A = this chain, B = another copy of it.
Amino acid sequence: MTLVAIADAGGWAYDESGLNAATIAQVKAGGSVAEMENGHASDDAIGAIIKLGDKIDGVFLALPNLPNDFIPGVVTRFVDAGFQGVFSDALKRTRAMEMVFEMDDKLRAAGCVYLTGCGATPGLLTAAAALAAQSFAEVESVDIWWGVGIARWDDYKATIREDIAHLPGYDVEKAKLLSDAEVEALLNETDGKLTLHEMEHADDVMLERAGVLSREQVTVGGVMDTRRAQKPVSTTMTLTGTTFEGKRSQHKFILGDETSMAANVCGPALGYLARAHWLRERGVCGVFGSAEMMPMVVK
């Protein structure tokens, strides 16, 4: 795989022979794509990427925090412009993913493959749940409990606001309107920790679609520490079920505490992008949840 193009709200960059990882890291450290080597400022960076056409085989849509219709809208633009390739995303919200699944006919007709929910959760942990389910005649619950530790919250402003949106009394719009000082004040109340229960997380619709269990049997929550890089709890997927012999038990998938959100989201998303390409090469098109496919190893 070669990363040839990248876009953010203010610009895009393209290099047929591959963009340089070091310059991308600069962008992450506060710059914008427009300032990169090979970068161009644009108020329609997505449109510029779409114009690259068949120079691109696959697109990773990395932003889970924008309005629900953002990613379906981007994909519609690609398809309507005649793009024939594959997509993966790191979507989190149930409603946004339902909108993606509704695009199945459109993507099949266009000869495209879209694998959705390909981050950590949904993604890695959801697929682990679909695997774990295989030992059981009846699955009663899937419980995902994540821990994230970040040394400085302002490196992940959008993600923190997405998490605040899940707290009682908040929603996506309210969280988005908080000033940095207001976020800081909120975090001060709990020594920088956000504990979230019953999050709207698309693991539920993915596991329901895969036939594992119904969506209300899936719970997602966790603890984010915004002041320490160490995870406050180990991220764990626990599936509880009953075997064909009537034994009740639990399988667990536990992520190593030293692995970052970036490693657990972007690794799977690229692995699934490669799987999407594999499917398309074999004539299998449409929209699938990541719990229906294995990711591939990407080098």
Which residues of A pack against B, CB within 8 Å?
124, 127-128, 130-137, 210-212, 243-245, 247-260, 262-264, 266-268, 271, 282-284, 291-297, 299
Contact = CB atoms under 8 A, between A and B. Distances in A.
A27 B210 CA distance: 33
16 contacts: A130-B297, A131-B253, A134-B267, A135-B255, A135-B267, A136-B263, A210-B296, A243-B259, A243-B267, A244-B266, A247-B263, A251-B254, A252-B254, A254-B254, A283-B284, A284-B284
Contact of A243 (B134, B245, B248, B260): B260
Given A284-B282, A284-B284, A135 B264 contact: yes
B245 A251 contact: no
**For A259, A264, A292, which residue has the most chain B Cβ atoms within 10 angstroms?**
A259
Contacts of A271: 134
Nearest to A213: B297
A143 to B, nearest CB: 13
A250 to B, nearest CB: 5
A106 B256 CA distance: 42
A256 B250 contact: yes
B299 A211 contact: yes
Contacts of A212: 297
Contacts of A294: 127, 130-131, 291-294
A296 B289 CA distance: 12
A297 B134 CA distance: 7
A211 to B, nearest CB: 4
Contacts of A291: 294
A107 to B, nearest CB: 15
A134 B295 contact: yes
Contacts of A250: 256
Contacts of A293: 293-294
B256 A253 contact: no
A205 to B, nearest CB: 15
A233 to B, nearest CB: 15
A260 to B, nearest CB: 6
Contacts of A258: 243, 247-249
B124 A134 contact: yes
A294 B266 CA distance: 20
